[in-house]
Amino acid sequence: MFFEDGTIQAKIKSGGGFDENGYPVEPAETWSEPISCHIKLNRKNNLGKQNGNSFIVASYEVFIEMQPFESERVKLIERGRDLGEFSVLWTECLENVGAVKIVV
């Protein structure tokens, strides 16, 4: 068991493929139901720059109760504050403590 201070939602893709004429069809994207989690800040700074624009670089470790979890993109909310959408770098099952670690 761990201290729950936020929620995580996985982006779910469904459908897609090809239509009757053989043209590609974009998959529909929706958010999963919020899952209670503990969010730990890995790194955060204002040093990101691209095309002359600055942005915040952030990385988090998210811990959820042991369950199947598979997603390429997630949305994080910590203590009611929207942290944003992040790409999932990797997931790790922590069997000894009954949790899944998600690094974004």
Cα 66 to Cα 42, 91, 92, distances in angstroms: 21, 12, 10
Q: Is the pLDDT of residue 43 over 80?
A: no
**Span 55-82, average pLDDT:** 90
Q: Where are the beta strands (DSSP E) in the chain?
A: 6-14, 17-18, 24-25, 28-31, 35-50, 53-65, 73-78, 81-87, 90-94, 99-103
**Span 77-102, average pLDDT:** 93
**Span 64-81, average pLDDT:** 93
CATH topology of domain 6-15+25-103: Thrombin, subunit H (2.40.10)
DSSP symbol at 33: P
What is the pTM for the complete model shown?
0.80
| Res 73: pLDDT | 95
Q: Is the pLDDT of residue 9 over 90?
A: yes
Q: Is the pLDDT of residue 47 over 80?
A: no
| Res 76: pLDDT | 95
